[in-house]
Amino acid sequence: MDQRRADPRGELVRPYAVTRGRTEPRQDIALEAVLSASATAVAESRFAGHDKHRIATVCEGRAQSLAEIAAYTRMPLGVTRVLVADMVAEGLLTLHTAAPAVGYEERMNLLGRVLSGLREL
């Protein structure tokens, strides 16, 4: 039996090590936020570490949401969120926002309309 498979702590330590112990991202990025990477950014990400290079490669040529990036790279969402926020700050990823910034009340109204629409289906 593989020693790494026998010890569940190995899977818990790695995400903590990847983010250098950080659990909160530099900036708040929504799950549905769309991100992309240019070919230049992908080339530069090779020097930023394996995980960041994987994220940049996933976003090259096709914009991806934060949730999709986590799924494609098979990294925990919390780890992906921290790394993606770092990459946006470093200029390795471009964060695209389609909607203007809205307050809490507007977001709650939008969510209510979405839920109503789903219930009608």
Higher pLDDT, 12 or 51: 51
pLDDT at 31: 80
**Alpha helices per DSSP H over the chain:** 3-6, 9-18, 39-45, 50-59, 66-73, 77-90, 104-120
Residue the block writes with tokens 């790394």: 83
pLDDT at 23: 62
Query: What confidence tier does 24 reach under pLDDT thresholds 50, 70, 90?
Result: low
- Confidence check: pLDDT of 9 > 70: no
* Six-digit token string for 107: 């977001």
- Summarised one tens digit per residue, pLDDT across range 28-72 is 888 888 899 888 888 888 888 888 888 999 999 888 888 899 999
pTM: 0.66
